[in-house]
Structure 1
Amino acid sequence: MGLLLIKNGHVYGPTSLGRKDILIAGRSILSIDTHISEEAVRALDKNAAIIDAEGAWVTPGLMDSHIHFNGAGGEGGPHFRTPPLQLSSFIQAGITTAVAPLGTDGVSRSLRELLAKARSLENEGISTYMYSGAYRLPSVSITENVMTDIVLIDKVIGAKVALSDHRSSHPTVEELRRLISDARVGGMLAGKAGIVEAHMGAEEWGLGIIQEALAGTQIPMSQIVPTHVNRNQKLFDEALKYCEQGGVADMTTSMGSDSDSVKPCDGVRQARLRNIPLSRFTMSTDGNGSMPVFNKAGELVGMGIGEPITLFTALREILLESGVSTEEALALVTSNVADRLKLANKGRLSAGNDADLLIITPSDITLRYVVAKGVIMMREGTIIRKGTFESC
């Protein structure tokens, strides 16, 4: 078990802890203290790695709760299927924990393949989880149903469904309520989040079906997380109201480049203007998902792809331009996500938690180091740990 000592950095856990040293043993944080002696660490492990983070921030690694790491797409035919992601795509973006759903294609893409890719990336160095289900209801699953997937498969922490989207199955309120209930009970039995991640499209239904499905139940609003809520201003206005009422929502960082969508930085500003706690929001990339462009007739007229790097890019923009505190900005992609997914050892820098952390230059928000499960993956901006089939 090797030791890694990070000295002299300003630690954001994401709460500001001030100037601290961090000692890592194996995959876990052993200690965070004002001063940890380099000599004492060397006495325990003569080969211990020492990083001087003087003048830098030390933060939790980023958590991406919606990234298609085994590929997605296919709306334009087989040649529009996106390929699986390689490890370096995550390291470049500072992502140390990734959660994947299936996309539009729940026919030729399978949850079994997704599970195998999750295990592959875990072996290569980052932490991975996945959702059961796909766009449509009834849900696809690995075992007999979504509930048993959550209970019996370690990597499965919730379920996916698409709503208010012309590619969805347009489920009834009763069907959605049953999915939320099954995922919730599965989570309770397994000690997991059991959340339903709801892909939101641009149809006029908006978030109404979610509110109807929860009405009259004792299910907390946080049991279902609508994502892509910054797809357009109308949907984002609904999301703001939904969060004011106690719900939670996820903004997609790969959106924001077209005229209809709301950039996450602007979304943060709008939430602050309405005094909505930013703890109700998270950000994810939709990385490696296809970004189809449809005209008003519903015809495919263009295709893009989600980029994992947008998570760090959006964080940088929020830190530099939004006026929110460093702690609040970091929480959007660290502790808020960990809380939503009930991943107790993730999203925060504290003794006993997994040693997933970043070292960032604060003046221009550039990434210097990435450490995942105690292993240095990026050193001084250079990726030094790549995937099995990547050339180093």
Structure 2
Amino acid sequence: MTVSMPTLQLLRNADVHAPEPLGVQQLLLGGGKVLWIGDALPELPAALPVDTIDLEGRRLIPGLVDGHVHVTGGGGESGFSTRVPAPLLSRYTRAGVTSVVGLLGTDDCARSTRELVASIYALREQGLNAWGYSGGYHLPPTTLTGSVRGDIAFVEPLIGVGEIAISDHRSSQPTLDELLRLASEAHVAGLMTGKAGIVHLHLGDGARGLELVRRALDGSELPARVFNPTHVNRRRALFDEAVELARRGCCIDLTAFPVAEGEDAWSAADAWLRYRDSGAPPAHLTVSSDAGGCLPCFDADGRVCGMDVGESGALLATLNELLARGVTLEQALPAFTSNPARLLRLAGKGQIAVGADADLVALDAQGAACDVFIAGVAHVRAGVVQRRGIFER
């Protein structure tokens, strides 16, 4: 019987940002990992099957880690017809996203954790790295096993709980005791399993802001890292509160949603720059897209008066805006790569290093994802999608 040897890949002339700049390097990929990095071509046996790709000096960055994605689709705030369809595979990969964390939002009634886990497995079968959160906006949280601790402990893709809504008219108006009990469940499950064990908190635009999280930190022994607020740039005063929480040890998440001129909000790029200038810990900041989620606006009675849909492409758009404003790749990249990977305890993600997963994105001169590799498999080559979802044309 003839045994075929798996093909290695040699990426030549890559301008590597790991996120730190390494200069022009050659990379050998195999078995889903980065096997070797060097500035000169390696000596390889002639009989060894190697697929060589010349990146011609393009910038090579770690695959983007999007920590807030509605993989089942979001929405539903204005009737069943407003339920957003689930994004298909290439919507992520064309945007340079190689890892996602899925969650439920307002609709954790018609949509379920069971459906979420099925969607995560479907994305994995198509080659994307995917995990998820137990629960949704409301308490008690929707679960598979009957408890958040059980979900995190026994359902492999589930790494925390979220997005639990606070300071929002759509939330279940959780009390401090309820939040602490939920956070303790997630934290202990994280200790048991080595998973993230965090509470991913949706922040609405309510005046209470992050008061509940401050009270939780002041009145419990739980580590600050357990509380992970997102959408913190949706109000300028809320962002200022979030920066102070980052100083206390929380990791805060910016959402790359559109911001109109004169709106009481910061764009993700504006908020990133303000965070940097604040002197808060750089490692405590992440950026996510809210891809697949509904981005509604409400009137004074809480009724939807308009809506948009989050897109994975918002991450690269934000990254490129930061670069255009004078930020270096080394400074900007961690919030999109290594910081979320560290918070979410995703080993091998968010960096380019020997032994790390071969999740890589080559950027063209305009900052678009020209080449995208997940576990060394090409999903996009020279700007052309190579692997599509089952139901994509």
Aligned: 1:63 with 2:69 = no
Q: Distance in 1 between matches of 2:257 and 2:275?
A: 19
Partner of 2:181: 178
CA distance in 1, matches of 2:199, 2:17: 30
TM-score, length-scaled by structure 1: 0.95
Q: State the partner residue of 1:370.
A: 372
Distance (whole Å) between structure 1 residues aligned to residue 254 and residue 28 of structure 2: 34
Aligned residue among 226, 239, 244 for 1:236: 239
Q: Which amino acid aligns with 1:314?
A: T
Residue 378 of structure 1 aligns with an amino acid whose one-letter code is V
User: Match of 1:28?
Assistant: 33
The one-letter code matched in structure 1 to 2:330 is: E
Q: Which residue does the alignment assign to 1:198?
A: 201
Contact 2:78–2:303, Cα closer than 8 Å, also in 1: no
Displacement of 1:210: 0.6
CA drift of 1:303 comes to: 1.5
Could you tell me which residue of structure 1 aligns to residue 47 of structure 2? 43
The letter for the 2-side match of 1:100 is G
Q: Is the 8 A contact 1:106 1:134 kept in 2?
A: yes
Deviations 1:140-170 (A, max 9, x none): 1011200010000110000011111100001
1:21–1:32 contact (8 Å) kept in structure 2:
yes
Q: 2:171 aligned with 1:168, yes or no?
A: yes
Question: Which AA in structure 2 matches 1:61?
Answer: G
Residue 225 (1) aligns with residue 195 (2): no
Corresponding position of 2:3: none
How well do the aligned residues superpose, as a CA RMSD in angstroms?
A: 1.4
Partner residue of 1:351?
354
Match of 2:297 in 1: 293
Q: Distance in 2 between matches of 1:153 and 1:221?
A: 25
2:106 corresponds to which residue?
Answer: 104
Q: How does 1:149-164 map to 2 (within 5 A)?
A: 149-160=151-162, 161-164=164-167
Once the two structures are TM-superposed, the CA of residue 324 in structure 1 deviates from its matched residue by: 2.8
Of stretches 181-190 and 11-20 in structure 1, the one that deviates more from structure 2 is 11-20
Q: Which deviations, in whole Å up to 9, do the C-alpha atoms of 1:63-109 show, x marking residues without a partner?
A: 10001011111000000000111101001110000001101011100
Conserved 8 A contact 1:177-1:214: no
Q: For 2:179 and 2:359, how far apart are their aligned partners in 1?
A: 35
Which residue of 374, 381, 386 corresponds with 1:379?
381
- Deviation, structure 1 residue 41: 6.2
TM-aligned CA distance change 1:279 to 1:325, over 3 Å: farther
1:5 is aligned with what amino acid?
Answer: L
Q: TM-score, normalised by structure 2?
A: 0.95
Q: Which runs of 5+ in 2 are unaligned?
A: 1-5
- Post-superposition shift, 1:40? 1.6
1:140 to 142, 153, 161: 142
Structure 1 residue runs without a partner (length 5+)? none
Q: 2:276 aligns with which of 268, 272, 297?
A: 272
> Is the contact made by 1:227 and 1:250 (CA closer than 8 Å) also made in structure 2?
yes
* Range moving further from structure 2, 256-265 or 128-137: 256-265
